[in-house]
Every structure is written in structure tokens, then in C-alpha cells.
Amino acid sequence: MAAPNKGRRPAGGQSRPGRALALILIAMVALTGGMFWSGHTTPRLGIDLAGGTSITLKAKAEPGQESAVNETNMNTAVGIIERRVNGLGVSEAEVQTQGRENIIVNIPRGTNEKQAREQVGTTAQLYFRPVLTVADGGPQVAPSATTSGSPTGTPSAKPSSSGATVGEKSATPTATATTQGRAVSEALKAPSPTPTASSSASTKPKATDTPTTPPAADAATLALQKKFTDLNCLDPKQRAAAGQGVKPTEPTVACGEDNPGVWAKYLLGPAEVEGRDVDDASAGIDQQSGQWIVDMAFTGEGSKKFQAITGKLSQQADPQNRFAIVLDGEVVSAPSVRTTLSANAQISGNFTQQTAQDLGNILSYGALPLSFETQSVDTVTAALGGDQLEAGLIAGAIGLALVIIYLVAYYRGLSLVAILSLGVSALLTYVIMALLGPAIGFALNLPAVCGAIVAIGITADSFIVYFERIRDELREGRTLRPAVERAWPRARRTIMVSDFVSFLAAAVLFIVTVGKVQGFAFTLGLTTLLDIVVVFLFTKPVMTMLAKTKFFGNGHPWSGLDPKRLGAKPPLRRSRRATAPVDAKEA
């Protein structure tokens, strides 16, 4: 810390202002460039500024099950809620945990906020439905296109999107899709498929499970067939929307993830068993095979239903012997049934510990692994959000202007350094906020804006500490260049200690608190860190450079460093002290 000989020090490392300035310049250019390159040139706005609905849910710990509120269950809940909200057609809904027991759901404006609210907190629907047909979940444009002899350019360009538009935009796939639809529909309706239908159906999903034994006449409508054919499980939107809003008594289509990233689509019969029929479920290891399995226990009524349906299913061939577990319209698992089961059942498959436990959780809690209580719902209209953003920006501008006026009035020319530093600080804060949006999901909310405004004061404080130190050195009779260097180590220590305290406060707040407090703490912490960076890499080097200029170095009256005005009593003036009494009385 303690700088060695004051005479030599300025010639050494301290006076290499160019390097530090170059460093921060490069950082600024790189960050700004990154911002434009990434295309996120404005910070992402929070619900309270952009408009929308923000819902805070708190996990309720049931008596005796306090440990149920854990990270795994919270994450499962987040996944389920996300699926539900996005099932409403919201593409940018954001669901995240906050703290240990809260889940925040942010729904941008323009969506059915009411419906979203109803979906979010409630317990999910869990049904057991018999599987009628299974097909590859991927786009079926490619194979059908080949059959019809049309070029396969479109699907290869962007499989998922072209799959999504099947039956709507492009003519060729529509034709084939209808054929397929008819094939499946007839497979469902007629006890035995017509030759054309079967050939068309079996050429397509050869790789996957092909319906060999069509089920007995179900009340499946043509619309459902079309829906099944058109369904593209690789498209998240379609996937989520697939099974939404279907009555349990009606057959439906749904997607399911067989293996990570591998999707299959299902045509499912009416629900036979419901989630509330499950009494308990847990993951375990099968003693014989050593594999992970899920054990289910049914309630009294549930086991009767389960017995009846498994009795029927076990007689069927694959895939009609399979029993899909459908959660919120998505097939979580579709195990095949080998024998009639009643009160207890065991699901085995390619489970890992994680997937087995997840399934166990889903089954035993009916849906969400935890029950949630709505803590707060904040619906902000676009108009109000805009007003608040505007007010925040005006407040910030006024605050900044006031600080600048004060600095100019008090520090004169020196304020230039402060203003430039504030500018650098503001630019860095803005760019980093804009970049943190896509990077970590940072959203600028009202408290964060407040934090940024308050930080103007913190940043300016650092300069004041340094400037006053320099002035103290000048008052002791030093010339500017040594004063700038001598003042630095001490000012640096003060700045570090006080910024550390500020940062500590911000960090503690960020870790401990929830909701709006967190946004505020984040900004405060970020700006405190930037303050250090700016003071070290910008303010100090600039001061060193300015000290070499005539204007500052010679203490021009407007430089803010005029020794006379500061009332310096340098040793060389000691003899003249009598003739120059405490000067600078004038304003």
C-alpha cells in the first residue's frame, strides 16, 4: 500500500495512464460491440416497466412434509408451470425459482392473463389413458414428400418449422398428410385396415411402432386424425398445445419425450384412471433387475379402475397394451402392461434415478410436487409501465443533472474528470445490463432503475474522496503532479473500504431477499463493482494525464485545483505568509 519514495514513484508504474485507459477503452468497445452484435441493444424490461403480469407463488410445506420443499421439487414445479403457461400460447413466459420457496411467473402483456393465473397455481391434471397409436414425433414431411415424389428441399432447410406448417401453407404435404390422416382414421374405425391405408401407414413410421392391430371402433373423429397427423412434437409450441383443454372422457393427441430429445406422438383413448386415484408413488430399485422403477399404490376406487383397465390392456399387442401417464396434456411415460394389476403397480423402463424420482413425484403429488399459495399478482398495464419507466428515466436524468451542476460549481475544471467518469460508468452499466438480459435473464425493473439512480451518488462519492485528497495535498504545498500520485494510495484505500461495505450490503440483500428487493440489490452491487473499475482504470489515469497539462498543472483558477484558492500554504511561500494572509476570500 504505502508507496515508496514520493519522488520516484510518479515515474514508475503509477504514471502509465495510457495502459489503463487503453484497457478500459478496449473493454468498452468490446462490450458495446458485443451488445450490438448480440442484437440486444436495450436492457430487457421487467413486467413493471414493460407491462404484463408477474405472479409470485410460495411453496406450502404440508405438516410433516417440510422436507418436500427442496430444490428438486421446486425445479419439477417450475418445469410443470412453464409447460402450462406456455401451453396458453405464451412464448416468452418466464418461470423461475427465487429463494428456496418461491416461484416467480412472469407473463408478458398481450396474453390471456386471467387464464394464465388460473393455470399457474392450480394442481395439474394427471390422467392415465390407453395408447391407441404411437408415431415418431418428428416432422413427417420428409417421408411423405418422398412418397409423393416432390423435392425434399423444404424439410431439410428447417425441419421443425416446415413440419409445423403442414396442412396449412404448402400444398404437397397437405395432400400426403390427408392420406396419412385417412389411413390412421380408418385404422381406428375399421377392425381391419384397407390395403391402401395400411400400406401408406406402414411405409411411413416403419422405424417406430406401427399400429398392427387397430383398436375397436372408437369415437374418433376425422378432426382428431388430422390433428394427430399434423402434430409435430419437435415444435415446442405445438407440443405444449397438443393436449390442452381436452376433456378426460374424450380421446386426444399428445406428445411424449421417450428419451431426452427424442419425441413421440400418441393418439390416446379416454382417461381411465385419474391422478387422484393414485395414493402414493415412489422411486425405487428393482431387487431382481437392479434397475430404477416407480412403485405406485392406488386408492380403493383407483385400484378397481386400474384392475379393469390393465386386464383389458394386457390382452393387447404393442402399442395398444400401453398405458400413457398424461400430465397436463403431455405423455410423461407410456409403459406397457403385461398382466392385470390392481392396488399396486410397478413401472419399469429406461429410468435413471432422476427420471424415476421425477415420475414418482409427479404421480404422488397428482401434478405439482408441491402445493403453492399465490403470494402476489402484479398486473401492470402497458401505459402504467411506460409511465413508470419514463418517470424513472426523468428522475435519473434530473438526479444526474443535479450532481453534475454541483460538481461543476464546486470542482470547476476538475468536474470534467468526474463527469467523464460518470459517463463511462453509465455506459458500462447500460451495456452490461443489456447484455445480462439474454445472458442470465436479468430484467430491468423499477427497483433496479432506482438502484442505478442511487448509484450515481455512490460513484460520485469516490471522486469526491479522491479530489478532496488531492486538494489536501495541494494545501500542504505540493504541486499537482506529486499531489495526484500521493493522494491516490490513500483515496484508493478509502474508496475500496467503503465500496466493499456497499457491495457487502448489496450481496447480502441479493442472497437473502426476494422479489423486488433482489433487483435493487443486483443493480447496486453491479454499479459498485463498476465504480471500482472506473475509478482505477479511468479516473486515476485521466487525473495523472491532466496533471501534466498546463491548465490543471499550473492551477488555473477554473481548474478547481488553484492552490491559491484552496488556501495552500506551501513552504516556499512561508516567508510571504504575512503579506498574503488567508486569501481567496472572494467567491
Partner 1 sequence: MSKLGDLGARLHRGEVGYDFIGNRKIWYGLSILITITAIVALAVRGLNMGIEFQGGAVFTTPKTDVSVSQAQEYAEEASGHDAIVQQLGNGSLRIQVGGLDTAQSDQVREELAKDLNVPEEKIAAELVGPSWGEQIATKAWTGLGVFMILVVIYLAIAFEWRMAIAALIALIHDLTITVGIYSLVGFEVTVGTVIGLLTILGYSLYDTVVVFDSLKEQTKDITKQTRFTYSELANRSINGTLVRSINTTVVALLPVAGLLFIGGGVLGAGMLNDISLSLFVGLAAGAYSSIFIATPLVADLKEREPAIKALKKRILAKRASAAAKGEPLDAADDLPAEAAVVGPRVSRRDSQEYRG
For residues 79 and 95, give the distance between their C-alpha atoms in angstroms, rounded to a whole number.
8
Q: Does the protein bind partner 1 through residue 514 (CB under 8 A)?
A: yes
Out of 208, 379, 416, 573, name the contact with partner 1 by CB under 8 A: 379
Comparison of 150 and 498: residue with beta carbon closer to partner 1: 498
Comparison of 410 and 551: residue with beta carbon closer to partner 1: 410
Comparison of 28 and 496: residue with beta carbon closer to partner 1: 496
Q: Does the protein bind partner 1 through residue 567 (CB under 8 A)?
A: yes
Stretch that binds partner 1, among 140-148, 235-243, 535-543, 578-586 (CB under 8 A): 578-586
Comparison of 35 and 484: residue with beta carbon closer to partner 1: 484
Closest approach, Cβ 416 to partner 1, in A, equals: 16
Q: What is the dihedral of CA 520, 524, 530, 535, to 10 degrees?
A: 150
Out of 154, 165, 357, 388, name the contact with partner 1 by CB under 8 A: 388
Q: Does the protein bind partner 1 through residue 558 (CB under 8 A)?
A: no
Q: Is the dihedral of CA 357, 338, 185, 212 positive or negative?
A: positive
Short-list 465, 469, 489, 459, CA closest to 566: 469
For every residue of 324-370, DSSP letters joined together read: EEEETTEEEE-PBP-S---SEEEEESS--HHHHHHHHHHHHTSSSSS
Comparison of 377 and 545: residue with beta carbon closer to partner 1: 377
For residues 298 and 306, give the distance between their C-alpha atoms in angstroms, rounded to a whole number.
8
Comparison of 204 and 478: residue with beta carbon closer to partner 1: 478
Comparison of 197 and 446: residue with beta carbon closer to partner 1: 446
Q: Does the protein bind partner 1 through residue 28 (CB under 8 A)?
A: no
Stretch that binds partner 1, among 150-158, 288-296, 426-434, 507-515 (CB under 8 A): 507-515
Comparison of 356 and 446: residue with beta carbon closer to partner 1: 446
Short-list 322, 301, 300, CA closest to 310: 322
Site for partner 1 in 58-97 (CB under 8 A): 58
Site string for partner 1, 244-263 (x = CB under 8 A): --------------------
Closest approach, Cβ 496 to partner 1, in A, equals: 9
Site for partner 1 in 405-434 (CB under 8 A): 406-407, 409-410
Out of 217, 457, 576, 580, name the contact with partner 1 by CB under 8 A: 457
Site for partner 1 in 339-368 (CB under 8 A): none
Comparison of 128 and 467: residue with beta carbon closer to partner 1: 467
Stretch that binds partner 1, among 24-32, 140-148, 378-386, 535-543 (CB under 8 A): 378-386
Closest approach, Cβ 497 to partner 1, in A, equals: 5
Out of 22, 317, 384, 439, name the contact with partner 1 by CB under 8 A: 384
Give the CB-side neighbour count of residue 202, counting CA atoms within 13 A.
12
For residues 486 and 469, give the distance between their C-alpha atoms in angstroms, rounded to a whole number.
9
Size of interface with partner 1, in residues (CB under 8 A): 94
Out of 376, 438, 439, 441, name the contact with partner 1 by CB under 8 A: 376
Comparison of 273 and 456: residue with beta carbon closer to partner 1: 456
Comparison of 20 and 505: residue with beta carbon closer to partner 1: 505
Element housing 240 (H / E) = helix 236-242
Query: What are the b/e assignments for 502-514, b being 16+ CB within 10 Å?
Result: bbeebeebbeeee
For residues 180 and 209, give the distance between their C-alpha atoms in angstroms, rounded to a whole number.
15
What 3-state class would DSSP assign to 319?
coil
Site string for partner 1, 116-155 (x = CB under 8 A): -x--------------------------------------
CB 204 within 8 A of CB 227: no
CB 116 within 8 A of CB 88: yes
Comparison of 345 and 389: residue with beta carbon closer to partner 1: 389
Out of 17, 256, 329, 447, name the contact with partner 1 by CB under 8 A: 447
Q: Rounded to 5 degrees, what are φ and ψ at 39?
A: 80, 0
Q: Does the protein bind partner 1 through residue 524 (CB under 8 A)?
A: yes
Q: Does the protein bind partner 1 through residue 396 (CB under 8 A)?
A: yes
Closest approach, Cβ 113 to partner 1, in A, equals: 8
Closest approach, Cβ 97 to partner 1, in A, equals: 14
Closest approach, Cβ 402 to partner 1, in A, equals: 4
| Cell numbers 495526484: residue | 484
CB within 8 A of 41, min separation 6: which ones?
Answer: 35, 434
Closest approach, Cβ 443 to partner 1, in A, equals: 15
Comparison of 120 and 268: residue with beta carbon closer to partner 1: 120
Out of 456, 480, 535, 547, name the contact with partner 1 by CB under 8 A: 456
Out of 216, 217, 262, 584, name the contact with partner 1 by CB under 8 A: 584
Chain center to CA of 418: 36
Strands (E), 89-223: 94-98, 102-108, 126-136
Out of 113, 295, 358, 531, name the contact with partner 1 by CB under 8 A: 113
Find the angle CA(20)-CA(24)-CA(26) to the nearest 5 degrees.
115
For residues 587 and 566, give the distance between their C-alpha atoms in angstroms, rounded to a whole number.
12
Q: What is the dihedral of CA 300, 305, 308, 314, to 10 degrees?
A: -100
CB within 8 A of 191, min separation 6: which ones?
Answer: 214, 216, 217
Out of 402, 438, 558, 576, name the contact with partner 1 by CB under 8 A: 402
Site for partner 1 in 459-498 (CB under 8 A): 460-461, 464-465, 468, 471-472, 475-476, 486, 490, 493-494, 497-498
For residues 240 and 255, give the distance between their C-alpha atoms in angstroms, rounded to a whole number.
8
Reading the block at residue 208, the C-alpha cell is 417406430
Would you call the peptide bond into 489 cis, given omega within 30 degrees of 0 as the criterion? Answer: no
Comparison of 168 and 583: residue with beta carbon closer to partner 1: 583
CB within 8 A of 288, min separation 6: which ones?
Answer: none
